[in-house]
Amino acid sequence: MVTTLDLIVGCHPQASCLACRTRDHSICAYCRPEELRQIEAMRFFRSFEPRQTIVMDGEVPDFVGTVLTGTVSLTKIMPDGRIQMVAMLRPGNFLGHPYRAKSSYNAVASTSVVMCGFRRKPFERLLRKIPELGQGLLEQSSNELDAARDWMLLLGRKTAREKVASFLIIFAREKVTQDPSLMKKQIYLDLPYTRAEIGDFLGLSLETVSRQFSAFKDDSVVDPDGKRGVTVVDYPALLAETGNDADGGWLA
């Protein structure tokens, strides 16, 4: 059983869901004020430190919830010990499957994470009571399915260069979405993963990932900084390297 921290960053039990900065892109997006008050009465907050396990594969989790801050990696461990990431959850994404007892993946906090949680059974009752909440969950599930298909494409058909570019564009695109002017500027990314972890998730060796970063640096596309930092020097060029007609990104 995981140990959670008592300190909640940016949220507290008295805070109104109406003031939540994550609500507009979470399962609560369609809920009206009176429905949000019902949600407030049932929610609780949990925080996790980097590398802390939130739920293990095969475990019966005691809660489900929305990621408020940080990054959560959903992974599977292969018989030989190799780790494969199957999804990455960012703020607004929902962790857990109502009506399903056991988890089918490991959920690990890649950074400091704060979640807005619900006990499973009461949440199932809440879904039946608030149709808009179910609509939000269905939309999240649809997005998760699309992301899984993109991830299959990335692992199965893309080159090493395209894989690394697609991985980086996820984080760069998030910042560009918040500030479109960054598309023509340099963008610093403090990644939640080391180069070795990126290799594990993309099915590449550490050496291959390092070579791709070096090649991108030689081409003035990105400028690596330490184990996790990287500056996107040319966002349009990085986007073009993903091998996709759109943005090359995948996100649960």
Q: What is the CATH number of domain 158-240?
A: 1.10.10.10
pLDDT of residue 244: 67
Which superfamily does CATH assign the domain made up of 17-155 to? Jelly Rolls (2.60.120.10)
Structure confidence by residue, pLDDT tens digits, 80-134: 888 888 888 989 999 998 888 789 899 999 999 999 999 989 999 999 999 999 8
Q: In what order do the strands lie in the sheet with 94-95?
A: 44-48, 113-119, 63-69, 94-95
Q: Give yes or no for a contact between 193 and 201, defined as CB atoms under 8 angstroms apart.
A: yes
Residue with tokens 């507290």: 12
Among the ranges 20-24, 180-184, 215-219, which has the highest mean pLDDT value?
Answer: 215-219
Q: At what angle do helices 160-178 and 131-157 cross, to 10 degrees?
A: 150
- Residue 223, beta-bridge partner list: 231
Q: Where are the domains of the chain?
A: 17-155, 158-240
**CA dist., res. 248 & res. 163, Å (int):** 9
CA 26 to chain centre: 12
Contacts of 33 (CB under 8 A, 6+ apart): 18
Q: Give yes or no for a contact between 74 and 104, defined as CB atoms under 8 angstroms apart.
A: no
Q: What does pLDDT average to over the chain?
A: 86
Burial class (CB in 10 A: 0-12, 13-18, 19+), 20: buried
Confidence of residue 13 (pLDDT cuts 50, 70, 90): low
Structure confidence by residue, pLDDT tens digits, 194-214: 999 899 888 899 999 999 999
State which H helix or E strand residue 139 sits in.
helix 131-157
